Amino acid sequence: MAEYIYLVPLFPLIGFLINGLLLGRLPRAAVNFIACASVGLSFIVAVMLFFDLRALPEGQRVLEQVLFTWIPSGALQVNIGFLLDPLSAVMILVVTGVGFLIHIYSTGYMSHDPGFGRYFTYLNLFTFSMLVLVLADSFPFMFVGWEGVGLCSYLLIGFWFEKKSASDAGKKAFIVNRIGDAGFLLGMFIIFWQVGSLQFTEVMAAAPAVFAAGGALVTTVCILLFVGATGKSAQIPLYVWLPDAMEGPTPVSALIHAATMVTAGVYMLARSSVLYTMAPDALAVVAIIGAATALFAATIGTAQNDIKRVLAYSTVSQLGYMFLACGVAAFTAGIFHLMTHAFFKALLFLAAGSVIHGMSDIQDMRQMGGLKKYMPITFITMLLATLAIAGIPGFSGFFSKDEILWKSFSSSHGHILLWIIGFITAGLTAFYMFRLIYMTFYGKERMSDEVKHHLHESPRSMTLPLVVLAVLSVIGGWVGIPHVFGVTNHFEHWLAPVIAGPHQEAASHALAAAGSSAATEFLLMGLTVVLVLFSIFGAYMLYKKRPELSTSLAQKFSGLQALLVNKYYVDEIYGALVVRPIVTGSVFLWKIVDVLFIDGLINGFAAIYADISQVARRVQTGRIRSYATVFVLGVVAMVGYFLYW
């Protein structure tokens, strides 16, 4: 069954090639069909692979397929090879499954856009790159997919490139990602230097022997890889590109924020979990950055008025949760949250897209309101996603978030402070999400009459993915119901062979202290739920019951309000500290070093030769007799030389 792993990335690649090479020559229906079918087929293959993998005994669930050697260079052998294990199986299911729904949705969303061919070409390439990323069997091949999603995000964020802000956002995403990529590359170099291989299986098997646990080297590697992850997965300090990424079409935001791209960093950390568990210091850094990002982005999210911006900051915040989980060595919880987040965040973005579509491209929530009765399907599905992200018991987000919070408290790498930050963030999440719901779907209808006239529920191609994702958002968490409810955590069990971590130790620990620990877990869970309900009530009071209260509150704390609306001025600070010096330095290099020195040197030499030539060319008199004289004298001299010397 390992023989057909390559089909998973192959189908989107074929779709990309057909749509890309025949760009502008295919009718809309054909483009739509090819794009959706390619991802759909690869989803089917992914499902088949998943069941094949499940049928294998637990210890043997690692399938490798090497197609050919890509870079044979001495000790460095890089294969075009795929690695299917429980971790990558989960990832390809999420990527192809959610990606497929987003493709279908896009056929409706982009139905009025003339650039549909280019759009679906990029979208297929994006899916292909992400599948390469998660299926790669070595760091360098993973890096190919890593760069591929970076490229596609640039292309898709800047899809409407005639708009200055969109092309700027695309460039920003690309440049910020490059900074992270440098860290990833350096980490890879150290691994190759120390281990002599970049195959995941070999590196992970050799790591305990090669690296000293907790040593400086392995910590450096982990930090460097994490720098790469902060770029791709939008963590402090490199998160700034993600909120701007909403300049692209909304389904692209859904794809970037949910199924692909930003999850790459979390996946990479989980993939390298063996290394990370050996470097507690690096784990602490990951946890602190993750928790800080979660809280930081959530506070910004409470003050934004653009519906997509709220969701963008929510993504940054939720990614912070995932890194918090990885940072306390609960990689399973991180991947679990990645999966549930993929469901509900894709749904939130697609529903927001549906709202924007219905609102004639207005994104400002202050101009919305009362959409509930115009867009019932969008409203219900979005509400379900909101309940999921807020962590209402029973919904998918509750289980994954609770698992992260519990692990950040109970894990041997955890800390009570990390839990408190996660706890506060959970409250903020519920608050800003319900603020969004109340501002958009309830209250006075604040839009203009013209917009209201066009207001309509979205077509079937858009609502159908919403419904499917809504179902997944509700039940998606049920695969990972924690032990404390007296059932097996299937998800954790499934990932256990791949993820290094203190499970065995934790499991025995949990058994020993089952009584008190279960009580604590229920207590913390209850606290979180109470806080979430309280936050929802707060949002209800401020934005539904008495909207004037929120404005007066905003006036009272106008300083704080301005700080949050302006996103803590981070963009401005980066502009002053990083961008401006680089631009100034570049102008110096250009005007002084390049134009003055380098050009001056070359042009100076040219001028010297020109001056010499001015003198030398006088030899060419144009008189035949003078030439003949020189010629004869030369012959005489030569003859004389040969005869008498």
Report residue 534 as tokens: 């309280």
Length of the chain: 645
Closest Cα partner for 67 from 149, 168, 135? Answer: 135
**CA 285-291-295 angle, 5° bins:** 145
CB 630 to other proteins: min, Å: 10
Does residue 644 touch other proteins according to CB under 8 A? no
Q: Which of 59, 618, 642, 644 binds other proteins (CB under 8 A)?
A: 618
Q: Which of 75, 162, 620, 643 binds other proteins (CB under 8 A)?
A: 620
CB 635 to other proteins: min, Å: 9
Does residue 637 touch other proteins according to CB under 8 A? no
CB 593 to other proteins: min, Å: 38
CB 605 to other proteins: min, Å: 22
Rounded-to-integer distance, Cα 220 and Cα 191, Å:
10
Does residue 530 touch other proteins according to CB under 8 A? no
464-523 positions binding other proteins, by CB under 8 A? none
In terms of C-beta density within 10 A (0-12 exposed, 13-18 middle, 19 or more buried), how is residue 86 classed? buried
Q: Measured between alpha carbons, how far apart are the two ends of the chain, in Å?
A: 89
Q: Write the DSSP symbol of residue 56.
A: S
Determine the interface stretch with other proteins among 24-32, 154-162, 261-269, 625-633 (rule: CB under 8 A): 625-633
Beta-carbon contacts of 17 under 8 Å, excluding residues fewer than 6 positions away, are none
Please say whether the beta carbons of 48 and 36 come within 8 A: no
Q: Applying CB under 8 A, what is the total number of residues that bind other proteins?
A: 11
Provide the b/e sequence for 145-183 (b: ≥16 CB within 10 Å).
bbbbbbebbbbbbbbbeeeeebbebbebbbebbebbbeb
Does residue 578 touch other proteins according to CB under 8 A? no
Does residue 617 touch other proteins according to CB under 8 A? yes
Dihedral sign for Cα atoms in the order 535, 539, 541, 545: negative
CB 182 to other proteins: min, Å: 57
Question: Between 71 and 633, whose beta carbon lies closer to other proteins?
Answer: 633
Rounded-to-integer distance, Cα 524 and Cα 574, Å:
38
Determine the interface stretch with other proteins among 248-256, 392-400, 477-485, 628-636 (rule: CB under 8 A): 628-636
Determine the interface stretch with other proteins among 44-52, 116-124, 409-417, 620-628 (rule: CB under 8 A): 620-628
Does residue 412 touch other proteins according to CB under 8 A? no
Does residue 625 touch other proteins according to CB under 8 A? yes
- 3-state SS, 125-139, equals HHHHHHHHHHHECEH
Question: Between 444 and 625, whose beta carbon lies closer to other proteins?
Answer: 625
Please say whether the beta carbons of 88 and 132 come within 8 A: no
Determine the interface stretch with other proteins among 302-310, 380-388, 439-447, 621-629 (rule: CB under 8 A): 621-629
> What letter represents residue 241's amino acid?
W
Question: Between 566 and 626, whose beta carbon lies closer to other proteins?
Answer: 626
Question: Between 21 and 635, whose beta carbon lies closer to other proteins?
Answer: 635
CB atoms within 10 A of CB 490: 12
Does residue 643 touch other proteins according to CB under 8 A? no
Does residue 628 touch other proteins according to CB under 8 A? yes
CB 181 to other proteins: min, Å: 58
Does residue 621 touch other proteins according to CB under 8 A? yes
Q: Which of 69, 551, 566, 629 binds other proteins (CB under 8 A)?
A: 629
Question: Between 549 and 636, whose beta carbon lies closer to other proteins?
Answer: 636
Does residue 642 touch other proteins according to CB under 8 A? no
Is residue 237 reached through a cis peptide bond, with omega within 30 degrees of 0 on the bond before it?
yes
Does residue 623 touch other proteins according to CB under 8 A? yes
Please say whether the beta carbons of 103 and 39 come within 8 A: yes
> If you write DSSP's letter for every residue of 366-398 in order, what string do you get?
GG---GGGT-HHHHHHHHHHHHHHHT-TTSHHH
Does residue 624 touch other proteins according to CB under 8 A? yes
> What letter represents residue 283's amino acid?
L
Question: Could you list the residues that contact other proteins (CB under 8 A)?
Answer: 617-618, 620-625, 628-629, 632
